[in-house]
Structure formats: structure tokens, C-alpha cells
Amino acid sequence: MPTPHNDNQEEFKVSGDDLVKKVKEIIKEGNARRIIIKNEKGEEILQMPVTVGVIGTVFAFPLAAIGAVAALVTNCTLVVIKK
């Protein structure tokens, strides 16, 4: 369930297993500008602009990085900064 933070930002609590799936959903919606992944302590693990991702194959590397993060965390918070 998203948690509104301000008008241009949403937070989602997700498990590590669902992280890549949720990021793909967010990108498909097309209204995200930046995605930040935080660990259970609220510390930022990864931050990436989504504009790089919409190019297609260029997004394969960031998805691999997100997959690596997912393997390391049990639960995390996705912060989506919208356009």
C-alpha cells in the first residue's frame, strides 16, 4: 500500500522478493522520475533516475542492480518521486 509523503512522492513497503516486480510496475506507469530504495533502517541503498530506464536495453543494468539489492534485503521501502 503506498504511503503519500508529499504531492510528488510515494513510498511503498515491499519484500525483497517483490522489489524488481514493483519497480517494473512503477516504470510501466510512466509517471516516475526517480526511484530510491531504502533498507529496513531507512538508509538509502540505491537511487536511480527512471529516465535512463525508459530507453529500453539501457535499463537492463539498473534492473540487475535492483535484483542484487533484492537478494540482500528482506524488506525495503521504495520511494517514487513523480514527475
Domain ranges of the chain: 2-82
Residue 53: what pLDDT?
47
Query: Half-sphere exposure of 30 toward its Cβ, with a 13 Å CA cutoff?
Result: 1
Residue 69: what pLDDT?
83
For the chain, 83 residues long, give each residue's pLDDT as a single digit of tens: 555 556 799 999 999 889 988 988 888 888 888 999 999 999 999 998 876 545 554 556 677 788 888 888 889 999 999 98
Q: CA dist 81 to 33, 35, 74, Å?
A: 6, 6, 23
Domain 2-82 belongs to what architecture?
2-Layer Sandwich (3.30)
**What is the pTM assigned to this prediction?**
0.77
Residue 6: what pLDDT?
63
Alpha-carbon gap, residue 68 to 32, rounded angstroms: 21
Instruction: Report the Cα–Cα distance between both ends of the chain, in Å, rounded.
Output: 20
Residue 60: what pLDDT?
61
